[in-house]
Structure 1
Amino acid sequence: MNAIQLFHDLTFYAMYVAAALAVFLIVERQLFFWFGSRDADKLLHSMTARSNFKPQLDPAMLERKTVPVQLVREALEAHTAVSDQTQLQDLGEAIYIAGKSRVNARLWVLDTIVTAAPLLGLVGTILGIIDTFSVLASSGISDPSGVSKGIGTALYATALGISIALFGLLFYNYLRECADRLNDQLKELLLRAAGVVHGNSRDGQAGRGDRHPMQAVR
């Protein structure tokens, strides 16, 4: 096997690996967004104003491990530890940025696969055609079927690369939309978490005494 044939085969292996990685990322991110959006919806529903327009929080939701729940817990703890409004806004922004980075994690890998797959396919096609012409130069056209097979294999590389890119692009745009929607839910959750703390603080001042905001929602 010459070097050109070796590199030609390696481009196919690289595209197969890219396709498998794309499928794994699509499944993993879809599950991440599904569980995160589900818990965000439940939190938003539980923090909707119930009686006397005072938001409440379902304490059972605070035990989950998803990003929306973790952000709400951090926001409640921040409101407990810090009283300065400017510091609270900075902490809220930092909490949101940390959550957003987790929401957008690994999407760049899928974007890279979408960009690189057609290029790998093109490289495979070029190497396959070069290898075919090398065979023609050494042995002539004594076997036309072998030449046709070589050209067909070379063109298959481009078709495979474009197919991987189209598949990845479709799901990348869908996952990008899911990420944007979840980020919007995180913003709303942080705002409503502040309303829960303020509502509990007003209740404490009205006659129940000062209580820890995390205790007030339990």
Structure 2
Amino acid sequence: MNMQLFHDIAFYLMYGCAALALFVIVERGLFFDYTLRQAVKLEKAMTHAVQHVRELPAELTARPSLPMTLVSDILSVKHELATDKDLEDFSESVYIANRGAVQHRLWILDTIVTAAPLLGLLGTILGIIDTFKALAVSGVSDPGAVSQGIGTALYATALGIGIAVVGMFFFNLYQERIERINDHLKVLMLRACVGRFVGPATTTSAAASRTLIETGKLQAA
């Protein structure tokens, strides 16, 4: 069995994990920064007077974002729901559906954090086995070659641990970002649900109520 080949494969797998972790770190970092900025801006714009998406600033509605999707989904149907309980259930379902998008791809980073040290340890073991096989064939005629082989084997462990440490740092950092984004999404959900009967629907209901009252007075007279 060619242990050197398996040793090289372990290295290639760790290089692939490092590249994949870097992609996830950059992509999720850009997504979290953009989503958090949009959530803060939208939270400032979402006053109690806002009852429709068209009443929001154009700069917030022009580009798609996770907070804007949540707010628009609630505002588009909240005047059509019969009761506050229906609105509460609908808004909770919208929040849960959008919250899942925040966790997207983070499982890859979590898996790499766990797998990278194991791959490094596997590469080290295979490298040491290959070094001992070489010793069994040629003997200890060249101590420098033995030290080089063991050093190369230990490099695999160092590489795996390094990948895991970097990945763990960003994974924990992004967990904190996720908590902040979810808090903003909850605030936006609550603000979007406020004043369900304010606006055109209320005006129509009030006009109908006045008509009924005046009709009743005329009939009474």
Q: CA deviation at 1:85?
A: 2.4
CA separation of 1:158/1:66 partners in 2, compared to 1, >3 Å: closer, same or farther? same
Structure 2 counterpart of 1:35 = 34
The aligned runs of 1:3-82 (5 Å cut-off) are: 3-48=2-47, 54-55=49-50, 57-60=55-58, 61-82=60-81
Q: Does 1:108 align with 2:121?
A: no
Q: CA deviation at 1:206?
A: 9.1
The aligned runs of 1:167-206 (5 Å cut-off) are: 167-195=166-194, 197-200=196-199, 204=203
Q: Give ranges in structure 2 of 5+ residues lacking alignment.
A: 209-221
Letter in 1 for 2:147: S
Q: State the alpha-carbon separation in 2 of the partners of residues 89 and 172 from structure 1.
A: 32
Write out per-residue CA displacement over residues 24-43 of structure 1, whole angstroms, 9 at most, x where no aligned residue: 11110111111111111111
Decide whether the 8 Å contact of 1:55 with 1:199 is kept in 2.
no
- How many equivalent pairs are there? 204
Q: State the alpha-carbon separation in 2 of the partners of residues 38 and 199 from structure 1.
A: 28
Write out per-residue CA displacement over residues 63-119 of structure 1, whole angstroms, 9 at most, x where no aligned residue: 321110011111112313322322222211111111111001111110111111111
Letter in 2 for 1:195: V
CA separation of 1:132/1:88 partners in 2, compared to 1, >3 Å: closer, same or farther? same
- State percent identity of aligned pairs: 51
Structure 2 counterpart of 1:144 = 143
CA separation of 1:131/1:208 partners in 2, compared to 1, >3 Å: closer, same or farther? farther
Letter in 1 for 2:188: L
Structure 2 counterpart of 1:130 = 129
Decide whether the 8 Å contact of 2:87 with 2:193 is kept in 1.
no
Q: Give ranges in structure 1 of 5+ residues lacking alignment.
A: 210-218
Write out per-residue CA displacement over residues 175-210 of structure 1, whole angstroms, 9 at most, x where no aligned residue: 11101110111111011111254443686369799x
